[in-house]
């Protein structure tokens, strides 16, 4: 074989390896060629075998990649006709079309969602057939995936623990203010700091008072007069004795102790100082008097309180007040004595609610013989109650007892008098303190079974049919919640089973398939709309084409159209202005060309329109939309009675989602939907129900 051209070495045609690494000596190249190992016999003796092998490997790799790409493309492409047939079968099997974002939308043909304008998707016949029901069957596998658990509904003896927080307070009945009985000056203080314990009769202060000196001299003069009149007897002695009694009574009212009055009678030496003594045992918690201070009659000097009896003031949330009754035992603990509990009974429940904290004060009277508790200590209270069949508390401790209306803590077994005020006791039933619920246990379900929407409570009841378990959405009326249980007033019967775990998954599936669920209540007949339709059907048509009154009603109708257009545009200023014009024009309109009953009826309808328009000052756009149904009914009644002028049509439009899904309508002058209730949020939501012609008759919209 001859080398091509001027090629001196075959390696120059395949520069794949570096010369330093692929160059071989002539001896090695000759030896390798001569050996015939690792290359074809016809291969040029001096061509590098390693370069050839590298090029061959690259070509083989490219061929494999191309073959793999070709095979993969054939597999992924699949039979084109089969895919199209499957899509066609899905479309053919669909009986209705729905929106993936708003599954409550059901239309018989393909189109766009009237709420979000997304393309509708087909719904299979099996899915659509039960869209109006509140029942959903689940297979065994679906129940396992949703982790569905159920509980039997039955009457239970529910024990509810009410947790209260509060603090220890001073018993107001053990509080005493010590004031000065006479005007004067404090010359000496025996109690010169707060917190000291004083006992009855202990000295508190000495007060200098010239008036006291005068009163004592009057007493001594009266005493001398009695002694002189003793020998005279008769009326003179009686008069002298009455003067003495009055002078003595004056000293007593000024707070002079009896021993001081007796000393004065013996010694006949009046004093210009009065000693102030403690009238009771207790702790001085406040001191307003200071040495050298001038005081008047009634000036408060000390505040003394007996801490052997205390109040515990607890805060009860308004949700728990229904379970609390006077006389119920309360157990509480405080941080000062960990692990130790104290017991008491509810003696008073405040009739007023604190609007700032939304709590009610509950008072517990407590004996404190060892002075372990101190005012201001924080406490945590616990009240345990049992609920009856009607959800009320069972077993009130005051049933059949007699209590004092002024001091409810005074409780006795029969008729008696109050130990504090002397009033006759009355029965606890007469004061409403002994209301007892019916026994037998309450019909209750676990709290996890109830789905709350704010206005409704929903549970999912498990029933059986020929295919297996079926889960039904039930709206229930709840009683009070007691811990982990809800008392059921209506909607369930004893023996039924409710879903206590997995209810939210079932509800989500119901929502996806547009079944009645937690967020979508079952459809109810629009009672108000039916009533409005009946009223419209009873209208006596009095329309006269080309009559003069149309020139007066035309501006009214124009103002109404401007009002609805402004609401649809979310323009509050234009809506207010249009509403004001509508009200003014309807009030000023006159029934030109009409007389008698027609004129009176025309005026009445215009007045009805004016009265339906609210005061727009500072009115929010939502408030105006709430009044739109009433305004629309008034305008529609007029149009159906007296018609309208011009060749334009009035389109009666309806939105089923307006006013919290109750549905409401409005009138507009063109067929393009502009929702006056939602504005830009759902501008095209709604449908045209009919067209009101100039003669007041309604025709179907084409």
Pair 687, 602 in one domain: yes
- Residues 457 and 583 occupy one common structural domain: no
Confidence band, pLDDT 50/70/90 cuts, at residue 600: confident
Question: What 8-state DSSP symbol labels residue 376?
Answer: T
Angle at the Cα of 527 (from 524 to 531), degrees rounded to 5? 160
Contact indicator for 315, 166 with CB cutoff of 8 Å: yes
Asked which of 512, 535, 561 is the last residue of a domain, the reply is: 512
Please give the tally of structural domains in the chain: 4
- Using an 8 Å Cβ cutoff, are 286 and 303 in contact? yes
Q: 490 and 621: one domain? A: no
Q: Are 572 and 501 in the same domain? A: no
Whether residues 535 and 456 share a domain: the answer is no
Q: Residue 257 falls within a domain, yes or no? A: no
Residue with tokens 């061959």: 56
Same domain, 543 and 480: no
Q: What is the pLDDT of residues 201-230, one digit of tens each?
A: 899 999 999 988 899 899 999 888 888 888
Residue by residue, DSSP assigns 60-105 as: HHHHHHHHHHHHHHHHHH--HHHHHHHHHHHHHHEEEEE-SS-TT-
- Residue 326 pLDDT level (bands cut at 50, 70, 90): confident
Indicate if 123 and 143 belong to the same structural domain. Answer: no
Residue 2 scores a pLDDT above 80: no
Q: Do 94 and 35 share a domain, yes or no?
A: no
My answer on whether 103 and 146 are in the same domain is no
654 inside domain = yes
User: Are 141 and 123 within one domain?
Assistant: no
Whether the CB-CB separation of 219 and 268 falls below 8 Å is answered with: no
pLDDT at 117: 73
Residue 444: alpha-carbon gap to chain centroid: 22
- The per-residue pLDDT of the chain, averaged, comes to 80
Retrieve residue 532's tokens.
């409005």
What's the rounded Cα separation, in Å, for the pair 110 and 106? 10
- Span 396-437, pLDDT tens digits: 667 778 888 777 778 888 888 888 888 888 887 777 666 555
Domain shared by 569 and 660, yes or no: yes
CB 437 within 8 A of CB 388: yes
Tell me how long the chain is.
Answer: 702
The mean pLDDT of 153-178, rounded to a whole number, is 91
Q: Is residue 243 part of a domain?
A: no
| Rg, Å, the chain Cα set | 49
The reported pLDDT for the residue numbered 559 is 92
Rounded CA gap, 651 and 345, in Å?
A: 70
* CATH code: domain of residue 499: 2.40.420.20
Pair of tokens at residue 321: 């007040």
Mean pLDDT calculated for residue range 47-62: 66
> Distance between the two ends of the chain, CA-based, in angstroms?
93
> Within a domain: residue 207?
no
- Taking residues 343-351, what's their average pLDDT? 90
Whether residue 494 is found in the same domain as residue 558: no
78 found inside a domain: no
The answer to whether 358 and 351 have CB atoms below 8 angstroms apart is no
In a domain, 241, yes or no: no
Q: How far apart are alpha carbons 210 and 397 in whole angstroms? A: 59
Can you give the pLDDT at residue 511?
A: 78
Residue 140: domain span: 136-156+441-512
| Helices and strands (H and E) in the chain: how many | 16, 34
Dihedral over Cα of 572, 578, 580, 586: its sign: negative
**577 part of a folded domain:** yes
DSSP character at residue 436:
-
pTM for the model: 0.54
448-463: pLDDT as tens digits = 999 998 778 999 999 8
152 occurs within a structural domain: yes
């Amino acid at each position: 074989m001859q080398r091509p051209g001027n090629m001196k070495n075959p390696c120059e045609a395949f520069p794949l390896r570096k010369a330093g690494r692929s160059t071989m000596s002539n001896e090695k190249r000759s030896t390798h060629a001569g050996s015939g190992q690792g290359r074809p016999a016809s291969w040029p003796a001096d061509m590098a075998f390693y370069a050839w092998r590298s090029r061959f490997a690259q070509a083989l790799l490219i061929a494999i990649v191309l073959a793999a790409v070709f095979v993969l493309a054939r597999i992924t492409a699949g039979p084109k006709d089969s895919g199209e047939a499957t899509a066609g079968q899905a479309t053919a099997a669909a009986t209705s079309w729905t929106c993936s974002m708003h599954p409550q939308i059901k239309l018989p043909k393909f189109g766009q969602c009237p709420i979000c304008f997304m393309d509708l998707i087909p719904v299979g016949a099996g899915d659509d057939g039960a869209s109006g029901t509140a029942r959903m069957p689940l297979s065994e596998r679906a129940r396992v995936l949703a982790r569905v658990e159920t509980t039997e509904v039955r009457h239970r003896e529910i024990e509810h623990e009410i947790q209260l927080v509060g603090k220890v307070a001073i018993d107001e009945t053990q509080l005493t203010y010590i004031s000065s009985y006479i005007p004067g000056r404090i010359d000496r203080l025996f109690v010169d700091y707060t917190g000291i314990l004083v006992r009855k009769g202990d000295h508190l202060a000495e007060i200098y008072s010239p008036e006291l000196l005068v009163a004592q001299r009057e007493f001594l003069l009266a005493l001398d007069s009695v002694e002189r009149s003793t020998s005279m007897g008769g009326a003179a002695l009686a008069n002298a004795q009455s003067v003495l009694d009055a002078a003595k009574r004056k000293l007593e009212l000024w707070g002079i102790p009896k021993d001081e009055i007796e000393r004065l009678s013996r010694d006949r030496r009046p004093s210009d100082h009065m000693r102030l003594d403690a009238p009771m045992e207790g702790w001085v918690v406040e001191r307003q008097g200071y040495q050298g201070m001038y005081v008047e009659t009634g000036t408060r000097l000390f505040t003394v309180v007996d801490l052997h009896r205390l109040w515990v003031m607890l805060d009860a949330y308004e949700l728990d007040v229904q379970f609390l009754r006077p006389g119920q035992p309360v157990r509480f603990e405080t941080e000062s004595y960990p692990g130790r509990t104290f017991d008491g009974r509810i003696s008073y429940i405040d009739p007023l609610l604190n609007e700032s904290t939304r709590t009610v004060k509950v008072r517990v009277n407590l004996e404190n013989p060892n002075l372990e508790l101190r005012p201001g200590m924080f406490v945590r209270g616990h009240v345990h109650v049992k609920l009856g069949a009607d959800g009320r508390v069972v077993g009130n401790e005051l049933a059949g007892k007699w209590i004092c209306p002024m001091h409810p803590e005074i409780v006795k077994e029969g008729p008696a008098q109050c130990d504090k005020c002397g009033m006759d006791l009355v029965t606890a039933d007469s004061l409403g303190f002994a209301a007892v619920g019916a026994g037998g246990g309450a019909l209750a379900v676990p709290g996890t079974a109830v789905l709350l929407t704010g206005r409704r409570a929903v549970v999912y009841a498990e029933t059986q049919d020929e295919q297996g378990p079926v889960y039904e959405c039930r709206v229930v009326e709840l009683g009070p919640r007691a811990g982990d249980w809800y008392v059921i007033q209506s909607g369930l019967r004893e023996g039924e089973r409710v879903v206590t775990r997995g209810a939210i998954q079932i509800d989500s599936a119901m929502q996806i398939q547009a079944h009645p669920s937690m967020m979508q209540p079952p459809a109810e007949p629009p009672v108000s709309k039916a009533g409005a339709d009946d009223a419209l059907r009873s209208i006596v048509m009095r329309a006269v084409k080309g009559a003069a009154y149309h020139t007066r009603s035309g501006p009214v109708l124009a103002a109404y159209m401007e009002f609805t257009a402004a609401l649809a545009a979310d323009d509050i200023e234009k809506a207010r202005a249009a509403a004001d014009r509508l009200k003014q024009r309807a009030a000023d309109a006159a029934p030109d060309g009409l007389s008698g009953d027609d004129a009176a009826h025309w005026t009445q309808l215009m007045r009805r329109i004016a009265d339906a328009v609210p005061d727009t000052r500072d009115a929010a756009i939502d408030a105006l939309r709430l009044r739109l149904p009433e305004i629309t009914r008034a305008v529609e009644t007029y149009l159906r009675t007296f018609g309208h002028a011009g060749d334009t049509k009035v389109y009666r439009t309806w939105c089923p989602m307006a006013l919290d899904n109750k549905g409401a309508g409005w009138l507009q002058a063109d067929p393009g939907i502009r929702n006056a209730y939602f504005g830009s949020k759902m501008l095209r939501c709604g449908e045209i129900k009919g067209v009101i012609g100039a003669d007041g008759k309604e025709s179907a919209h084409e």
